[in-house]
């Protein structure tokens, strides 16, 4: 059996725990550690702490978990570990004692451990499960090169209360976090995902606007739909009209950008409204409606909108009806200027 190694990154060292570390590190446990590790006592007893240290040696012997003291400038400042959950997958955990927090030691220690786990344990993936309220640990995982991957709703209990968990992960073949690709991928994983919707105004030669009567909601709406990942809004409205009405249109000038606040269980969204041009009214006779979404289509004028169109869209359509040209910006259907 090989001895547990010591890992180094300049003045930062990861080494095996020894019983001699107990008296120094035990008093450094505080409310923050007790809170996130959900332990009843802030400071473990001497026997509990020494038993825990002995357990890290047993876990190293069977490679089920590897735990290191984080040592900085000769002082024990925290702990970091990786538990082998499945073949090729490791789950990370860490803590830095209060006097040493805020110095960037946590992410350096986690990154050093991750690189070693890939090289020496043969792991293909590491991940961390972090309470979303624990912003310091989320930041540590990200700076160590993990990417935010998802949120598990109510999968954990903390102080007897159901809690969500953020899952952050890094694969062996991910770009290194010190590279541009690695940094960009990490940052991209943290940015908000806002719904984008693309819709179009199709007018008749007499000035009527085409609205769709939808299967899944009461209000009539402009043709269009949700923008797919890596799809432009202009391409989306052309695709949606083709799929839902079997009509070929061209996305013309951008008439409006409308920000919609959260509504009916949906998050907020940005709506791009394009000019789809002017056509003869009999164009709808050539339409083939996608029946799972579109019940009917109607040529409408302003007097038709109240009671049939959602209030925010009445405001949008009214603003467009009165607008002479260019692109207008609206919030909840109301122009901001």
DSSP 144-196: TT-EEEEEEEEEEEETTEEEEEEEEEEETTSPPTTSHHHHHHHHHHHS---EE
Assign 325 a pLDDT band (cuts: 50, 70, 90).
confident
- Dihedral class, residue 46 (left if φ above 0, else alpha if ψ from -120 to 50, else beta): alpha
Q: Is the pLDDT of residue 264 over 90?
A: no
Closest CA to 174 of 165, 160, 184, 161: 184
Closest CA to 60 of 25, 122, 16: 16
The predicted structure's pLDDT at residue 263: 84
Residue 91 CB contacts under 8 Å (≥ 6 apart), including other chains: 82, 83, 85, 126, 127, 128, 129
User: What would the pLDDT profile of 146-188 be if each residue is shown by its tens digit?
Assistant: 999 999 999 999 999 999 999 999 999 999 999 999 999 999 9
- 265 against 70, higher pLDDT: 70
Q: Is the pLDDT of residue 250 over 70?
A: yes
DSSP 273-324: EEEEEEE-GGGGGG----TTTEEEEEEE-GGGTTTTB-HHHHHHHHHHHH--
Mean of the pLDDT values across residues 225-248? 96
Closest CA to 296 of 231, 203, 212, 220: 212
Location of structure tokens 């180094």: 8
DSSP 24-81: HHGGG--HHHHHHHT-S-SS--HHHHHHHHHHHHHHHHHTSEEEEEEEETTEEEEEEE
* φ, ψ at 118 (rounded to 5°): -65, -45
Mean of the pLDDT values across residues 7-26? 97
Domain ranges across the chain: 7-190, 195-335
Radius of gyration of the chain (CA): 29
The predicted structure's pLDDT at residue 1: 61
User: What would the pLDDT profile of 78-123 be if each residue is shown by its tens digit?
Assistant: 999 999 988 899 999 999 999 999 999 999 999 999 999 999 999 9
Closest CA to 329 of 311, 200, 319: 319
What is the dotted CATH code of the domain comprising 7-190? 3.40.630.30
Average pLDDT of the chain is: 95
The predicted structure's pLDDT at residue 33: 96
What whole-number distance in Å separates Cα of residue 303 and Cα of residue 266?
29
User: What would the pLDDT profile of 181-198 be if each residue is shown by its tens digit?
Assistant: 999 999 999 988 889 999
The predicted structure's pLDDT at residue 73: 95
What is the dotted CATH code of the domain comprising 195-335? 3.90.79.10
Assign 277 a pLDDT band (cuts: 50, 70, 90).
very high
Contact call for residues 57 and 18 (beta carbons, < 8 A) = no
């Amino acid at each position: 059996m090989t001895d547990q190694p010591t890992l180094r990154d300049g003045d930062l060292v990861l080494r095996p725990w020894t019983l001699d570390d107990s008296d120094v590190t035990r008093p450094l446990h505080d409310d923050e550690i007790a809170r996130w590790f959900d332990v009843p006592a802030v400071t473990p007893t001497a026997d509990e702490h020494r038993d825990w240290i002995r357990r890290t040696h047993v876990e190293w012997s069977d490679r089920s978990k590897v735990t290191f003291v984080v040592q900085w400038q000769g002082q024990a400042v925290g702990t970091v570990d990786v538990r082998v959950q499945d073949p090729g997958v490791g789950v990370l955990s860490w803590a830095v004692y209060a006097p040493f927090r805020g110095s960037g030691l946590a992410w350096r220690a986690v990154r050093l451990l991750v690189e070693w786990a890939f090289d020496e344990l043969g792991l293909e993936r590491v991940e961390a499960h972090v309470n979303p309220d624990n912003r310091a640990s989320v930041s540590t995982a990200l700076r160590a090169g993990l990417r935010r991957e998802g949120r598990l709703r109510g999968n954990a209990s903390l102080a007897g209360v159901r809690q969500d968990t953020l899952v952050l992960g890094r694969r062996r073949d991910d770009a290194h976090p010190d590279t541009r690709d690695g940094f960009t991928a990490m940052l991209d994983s943290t940015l908000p995902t806002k719904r984008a919707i693309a819709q179009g105004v199709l007018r008749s030669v007499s000035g009527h606007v085409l609205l769709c009567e939808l299967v899944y909601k009461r209000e009539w709406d402009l043709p269009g739909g949700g923008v797919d990942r890596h799809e432009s809004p202009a391409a989306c409205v052309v695709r949606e009209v083709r799929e839902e009405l079997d009509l070929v249109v061209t996305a013309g000038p951008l008439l409006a950008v409308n920000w919609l606040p959260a509504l009916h269980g949906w998050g907020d969204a940005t709506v791009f409204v394009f000019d789809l041009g002017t056509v003869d009214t009999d164009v709808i006779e050539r339409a083939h409606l996608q029946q799972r979404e579109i019940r009917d289509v109607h040529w409408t004028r302003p007097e038709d909108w109240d009671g049939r169109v959602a209030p925010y869209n009445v405001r949008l359509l009214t603003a467009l009806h009165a607008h002479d040209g260019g692109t207008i910006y609206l919030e909840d259907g109301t122009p901001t200027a």
